[in-house]
Amino acid sequence: MAYVALGANLGDAVAALRQAVQAMRCLPLTQVHRMSSLYQTAPLDTDSGAETAAPGQDYVNAVVALRTGLSAPALFDQLQQLELQAGRERPYRNAPRTLDLDLLLYGRASLDSARLTVPHPRMLQRAFVLVPLAEIAPDRVSAEQLGAVQHQAIARLGALLG
């Protein structure tokens, strides 16, 4: 099982996440297995470990579980193509985005290359990843991990697809 975090804070973020899930259903050798609820979160700068508010509109986030026959690098490439198709630009690190798709976990694999690191290196610092991941895969998130991000504001919005 592969787990992908979805996020957006430009344009119609909810529609962008819904369209991304529909696009993931069309990926080769891939099925959407489970979807978390939608969550709203403030943008955070957690790259340095400093949890300070970053500029920009609130994000809408979710996590999906995929069954896939694609390798982790091939899935990563497909996800990046979906971001580009959604108008994703990368003018600077942590820029607001039309769509962000992060490969969080790929089974129990551990990968570390110049292009891809799995598990995602910052996932344990982010409530917007851990809370929706715990919703659909409670065995992949511990109470301690959730406790470490409990101070980050996150609000459940409702179902990803209605």
Catalytic (active-site) positions:
88, 97, 100, 102
Task: At 101, list the tokens.
Answer: 């798709």
Classify residue 34 as exposed, middle or buried by CB count within 10 Å of its CB (0-12, 13-18, 19+): middle
- In what helix (H) or strand (E) does residue 72 lie, and over which residues does it extend? helix 72-85
CA separation for the pair 151, 17 (Å, rounded): 25
CA distances from 162 to 77, 112, 126 (A): 28, 36, 26
